[in-house]
Amino acid sequence: MKLRKKVLFSSVAVLALLALAITAFAAAPIGFDDKEIRIGQWGPQTGPAAAWGNVARGSKLLFDVVNEEGGIHGRKIKYFIRDDMYNPAQTVAVVKELVERQGVFAFVGGVGAACGMAVKNYLAANKIIWVGPSAAYNDFVFPVNPYLFAVYPLYKDEASILTKYIVEKLKTKKIGMLYQNDGYGKDGLSGVKERLATYKMSLVAEIPVEPTEKDLASQILKLKNSGAETVVMYVNPTAAVISLRTSATIGFKPQWVSSNTLSDYGLMYKITGGLWEGVITGAFAEIVDSKHPLMVKYREAAKRLTPEERWGVFYYAGILFADPLVEALRRVGRNLSTEATLKALNSIKDYQSIGPKITWTEKIHQGTDSVQIHKCGPGASSIMLQDWTANDLATWKK
Amino acid sequence: MDMKRDYYEDIRLFKSNVVIFWTVVLLIALFTAPLYIDSYNVYLLNIIMVHVILAVGLNILVGSTGQISLGHAGFFAIGAYGTALLMMKFQIPFVFAILIAAFIAAFFGFILGLPALRLEGPYLAIASLGFGLTIMHIIGGMDVFGGRMGVRAPPLDLGIQQLGLTWILKTDVQKYYLILILTILLVVGARNILKTRVGRSFVAIRDSDIAAEVIGVNLTIYKTLAFAVSAFYAGVAGGLFGFVLGFFDPFTFNLILSIMFLVMVVVGGLGAIQGGIMGAALITYLQYDLFKNIAEVPYLGAFLVAVSKQWFTLVGLENFNAMAIGLIMIGIIIFEPLGMFGVWIRLKKYWMTWPF
């Protein structure tokens, strides 16, 4: 009796296992059919970097608008956002899931250099196109990866352009630098130094900051003692807030100049308690209240489709990063394939939406070396100081 | 029904032929799994097994010895960085590199075990938490470790370069078999530790450290040993994790990860090997797979999307992930303190006495 019971139980269990195994069989589909093109993006919706989750939601707005207008050559875009919590292990998992189960044609955006690095080779091996990572990272584009197309200007180029502006327009003689002690900060530092060398100038102070430091009093004091009139900062938002507050306390009032990673004035103004006013930053997209027709169009669409979302620079960066892919898909036409799309992407020349002009060739997948220069006005408003400017010192173009 | 007549019966690996039968079935299933599941699931299984190794090790510390640790992501990081860097910088073969890295982790475990001699409960939790965060920041601050930009794992070469032997594992399936074999070895190893003198000392310390000391258990040795063994497991898991991922940076090993490891052990069942395995498998599956696709689950998905539109923040359904894990944790502690292992025991009893 007991044996029979066990046999019964065992066979049920084995059958259940088999059933499970069969459901797992589904073959990986290709990225599109007659009705839809599947596009994915990972982004930290929760976890330590959740504040950058709006990039992925910004891309959604673009695809919603495209779909409203009838899609691309009769195909609608089906868009998947996956939360990776800024954790590369989870990025790999969500990307594999999207590629192998959902059958994604391409990825756009994607926050986090480490997250991107964790999936870069996998995407290339599976011939999945990836347009517009939301990080400037040399390893993404040098050497060229045939499936990866970057929109974001490199920090070094930006720093060089900002320095030119400081020397020629602000006429500052004494420039100090506060930089985060990692790839991001050091790229900025090398850009500043390269530009200053052409004027036979040098920094009066170069002060590294560890990303996690919470007390910057000694660094700010060093800057003050160096007599810097302008301070360039390549740091994270927290360090920027602490720097500005510390400076205000000790009565150090230089002209602050910072990278585009801190160009979300609405946010920075709020968390610095208004100290952000007067700060000059680089920018990879038009100003928030720009009259640019595309900006007006997307702003109106955002009000209509996602009224609860704040119209900030990283939200519409999601549009900027995804837009060249939509353009390439339009150029390909009805006969869609990965090869055709790659060809279209490689032939994109001086294409401009709400950011700089993008040019890709077979050999260079870094799309631009241009930034705008903005200044934070009263009440977190944006003032454009200088329109799209390329870095004449950029060596990678040659 | 679970009566033991002598000591040797207690330490036997397989208690009956039925257990042997099912173990063989399970092993066959595991070894043939890559034949019929897709590559995404192989990756998921790899992550699950890495977490299993870690959870089984953590369970020796938390479940069996009664010492809490919120710093296991630190040992995990030491394993990952140690293995990758030993292979890259010193050309040490994988097998030795992962062992050395695990022993380094174990050494740090021993160090962390020293304050544990004086600290208990929340104070130990704080000390271990500090350890985990410190490791993360030290690694992040030093260029030797690739700084904040992270490290790309070298090719997983099982051979010995110096002798001209190379056997590079490239695909997820190849890595699957390596991890599977190591997981089995380590799980059996953990069982052996717990069933022998060392394991009984651990349990004695958990139940009452004063009583344990009175009957002759050297607290200094066994408490630090528990930390070292647990850290060793975390180190091996970390070493494998680095290759599963291929690329990692210091912030991969953050506080949240340490907490998730603890969740795995608590949800699975404290003090039971099966608990660690079940907890790691369940939590990893939920976190990496089900919760990511919850919107596509029939009925439930649509319902949750509606709830999220009504009450959640802009982020939407992603909030659900953390909430669900929290709810599971609270639910387990209130209703089933033994965790999934407790559920398993009751199911087993039910089947053995069926239909009564």
Identify whether residues A168 and A127 lie together within a single domain. no
Compute the average pLDDT of residues B6-34: 86
pLDDT at residue B237, as a whole number = 96
> Which B residues 38-57 touch A at CB under 8 Å?
38-41, 43-44, 47
Range with the lowest mean pLDDT among A232-236, B74-78, B167-171?
Answer: B167-171
Decide if A175 is inside a domain: yes
CB contact under 8 A, B315 and A46: yes
Range with the lowest mean pLDDT among B15-24, B158-167, B222-231?
Answer: B158-167
Rounded CA-CA distance B258/A219 in Å is 33
Q: What percent of chain B has pLDDT over 70?
A: 98
Identify whether residues A77 and A178 lie together within a single domain. no
Contact between A155 and A136 under an 8 Å Cβ cutoff? The reply is yes
Rounded CA-CA distance B73/B42 in Å is 23
Query: Does the pLDDT of residue B327 top 60, yes or no?
Result: yes
Please list every residue in chain B whose beta carbon sits closer than 8 Å to the beta carbon of residue A87. 252, 254, 256-257
Q: Taking CA atoms, what residue in B is nearest to A95?
A: B40
**B289 to chain A, closest Cα gap in Å:** 8
Kindly give the residue spans of alpha helices, DSSP state H, lying in A69-154: 88-97, 113-125, 138-141
B155 shares contact with chain A (CB less than 8 Å): no
CB contact under 8 A, A96 and B150: no
Compute the average pLDDT of residues B310-338: 82
Identify whether residues A256 and A299 lie together within a single domain. no
Compute the average pLDDT of residues B84-103: 93
Identify whether residues A271 and A355 lie together within a single domain. no
Rounded CA-CA distance A374/B342 in Å is 61
**DSSP string over B275-293:** HHHHHHHHHHHIIIIIGGG
Decide if A27 is inside a domain: no
Contact between A339 and A345 under an 8 Å Cβ cutoff? The reply is no
**CA-based angle B258:B260:B265, to the nearest 5?**
100
pLDDT at residue B161, as a whole number = 77
> Which A residues 81-100 touch B at CB under 8 Å?
82-83, 85-90, 92-94, 96-97, 99-100
**CA-based angle A181:A187:A193, to the nearest 5?**
105
Rounded CA-CA distance A213/A220 in Å is 13
Identify whether residues A55 and A204 lie together within a single domain. no
**A18 to chain B, closest Cα gap in Å:** 10
pLDDT at residue A158, as a whole number = 94
pLDDT at residue A361, as a whole number = 93
A13 vs A126, more confident: A126
A187 shares contact with chain B (CB less than 8 Å): no
Identify whether residues A330 and A268 lie together within a single domain. no
CA nearest neighbour of A391 among A194, A258, A234, A199: A194
Please list every residue in chain A whose beta carbon sits closer than 8 Å to the beta carbon of residue B241. 89
- Confidence band (pLDDT; 50, 70, 90) for A1? very low
Q: What percent of chain B has pLDDT over 90?
A: 52
Please list every residue in chain A whose beta carbon sits closer than 8 Å to the beta carbon of residue B137. 212
A47 shares contact with chain B (CB less than 8 Å): yes
A281 shares contact with chain B (CB less than 8 Å): no
CB contact under 8 A, A14 and B288: no
Mean pLDDT (chain B, rounded): 88
pLDDT at residue A344, as a whole number = 94
**A149 to chain B, closest Cα gap in Å:** 20
Decide if A20 is inside a domain: no
CB contact under 8 A, A93 and B147: no
Number of structural domains (chain A) is 2
For A151-168, how does the pLDDT look when each residue is reduced to its tens digit (9 = 90+)? 999 999 999 999 999 999
pLDDT at residue A37, as a whole number = 94
pLDDT at residue A20, as a whole number = 52
Which residues, in sequence order, are CB contacts of A309 under 8 Å at separation 6+? Answer: A54, A57, A61, A302, A315, B314
Decide if A86 is inside a domain: yes
User: Measured between CB atoms, which of B25, B252, B315 is closest to A114?
Assistant: B252
Mean pLDDT (chain A, rounded): 88
Rounded CA-CA distance B66/A388 in Å is 62
Identify whether residues A381 and A250 lie together within a single domain. yes
> Which B residues 130-149 touch A at CB under 8 Å?
137, 140-141, 147-149
- Confidence band (pLDDT; 50, 70, 90) for A390? very high
Which residues, in sequence order, are CB contacts of B45 under 8 Å at separation 6+? Answer: B33, B37, B176
Query: Does the pLDDT of residue A25 top 50, yes or no?
Result: no
pLDDT at residue B163, as a whole number = 80
For B216-257, how does the pLDDT look when each residue is reduced to its tens digit (9 = 90+)? 999 999 999 999 999 999 999 999 999 998 888 888 888 889
pLDDT at residue B295, as a whole number = 76
Identify whether residues A120 and A93 lie together within a single domain. yes
**A34 secondary structure, DSSP code:** S
Strands (E), B276-352: none
Can you state the angle between helices A88-97 and A113-125, rounded to 10 degrees? Answer: 30
Please list every residue in chain B whose beta carbon sits closer than 8 Å to the beta carbon of residue A94. 292
Range with the lowest mean pLDDT among A184-188, A311-315, B13-17, B92-96?
Answer: B13-17
CA nearest neighbour of A134 among A104, A164, A112: A112
State both tokens at B179: 């991890």
Query: Does the pLDDT of residue A11 top 80, yes or no?
Result: no
Compute the average pLDDT of residues A35-47: 89
**DSSP string over B48-95:** HHHHHHHHHHHHIIIIIS----S-HHHHHHHHHHHHHHHHHHH---HH
CB contact under 8 A, B292 and A21: no
Give the helix/strand (H/E) hosting A167.
helix A155-168
pLDDT at residue A23, as a whole number = 47
Strand partners, A283: A372
Strand partners, B152: B247
Decide if A232 is inside a domain: yes
Range with the lowest mean pLDDT among A19-23, A316-320, A348-352?
Answer: A19-23
**B148 to chain A, closest Cα gap in Å:** 6
Range with the lowest mean pLDDT among A75-79, A276-280, B3-7, B67-71?
Answer: B3-7
Which residues, in sequence order, are CB contacts of A129 under 8 Å at separation 6+? Answer: A105, A106, A107, A147, A149, A325, A338, A341, A342, A345
State both tokens at A172: 């500052």
CB contact under 8 A, A17 and B29: yes
- For chain A, helix (H) and strand (E) counts, in that order, are 13, 12
Decide if A115 is inside a domain: yes
pLDDT at residue A26, as a whole number = 47
Contact between A166 and A175 under an 8 Å Cβ cutoff? The reply is yes
B89 shares contact with chain A (CB less than 8 Å): no
pLDDT at residue A148, as a whole number = 94
Which residues, in sequence order, are CB contacts of B121 under 8 Å at separation 6+? Answer: B68
User: Measured between CB atoms, which of A17, A87, A212 is closest to B252?
Assistant: A87
Please list every residue in chain A whose beta carbon sits closer than 8 Å to the beta carbon of residue B323. none
Identify whether residues A208 and A145 lie together within a single domain. no
Compute the average pLDDT of residues A218-247: 92
Compute the average pLDDT of residues B110-120: 89
- For chain B, helix (H) and strand (E) counts, in that order, are 15, 4
**A62 to chain B, closest Cα gap in Å:** 17
**A208 to chain B, closest Cα gap in Å:** 12
Question: Residue A219 sits in which domain range?
Answer: 155-283+374-390
User: Measured between CB atoms, which of A24, A54, A113 is closest to B41?
Assistant: A24
B316 shares contact with chain A (CB less than 8 Å): yes
Chain center to CA of B44: 14
**CA-based angle A93:A96:A98, to the nearest 5?**
105
CB contact under 8 A, A114 and B37: no
Compute the average pLDDT of residues A212-230: 91
User: Measured between CB atoms, which of A82, A121, A211 is closest to B246?
Assistant: A121
pLDDT at residue B351, as a whole number = 83
What domains sit in chain B, N to C, each tagged with a CATH number? 41-352 (1.10.3470)
CB contact under 8 A, B245 and A89: yes
pLDDT at residue A356, as a whole number = 93
B23 shares contact with chain A (CB less than 8 Å): no
User: Measured between CB atoms, which of B252, B315, B354 is closest to A88?
Assistant: B252
User: Measured between CB atoms, which of B252, B288, B314 is closest to A308?
Assistant: B314
Identify whether residues A187 and A239 lie together within a single domain. yes
CB pairs < 8 Å spanning A and B: 116
A15 shares contact with chain B (CB less than 8 Å): no
CA atoms within 13 Å, Cβ hemisphere of A28: 16
CATH code, domain with A334: 3.40.50.2300
Decide if A257 is inside a domain: yes
Decide if A9 is inside a domain: no
Query: Does the pLDDT of residue B310 top 50, yes or no?
Result: yes
Identify whether residues A243 and A129 lie together within a single domain. no
Please list every residue in chain B whose beta carbon sits closer than 8 Å to the beta carbon of residue A6. 18
Rounded CA-CA distance B225/B223 in Å is 5
Which residues, in sequence order, are CB contacts of B261 under 8 Å at separation 6+? Answer: B51, B54, B55, B58, B72, B73, B76
A74 shares contact with chain B (CB less than 8 Å): no
Contact between B168 and B174 under an 8 Å Cβ cutoff? The reply is no
User: Measured between CB atoms, which of A45, A87, A97 is closest to B40?
Assistant: A97
B36 shares contact with chain A (CB less than 8 Å): yes
User: Measured between CB atoms, which of A45, A86, A92 is closest to B43?
Assistant: A92
Please list every residue in chain A whose beta carbon sits closer than 8 Å to the beta carbon of residue B38. 24-26, 28, 100-101
Identify whether residues A162 and A247 lie together within a single domain. yes
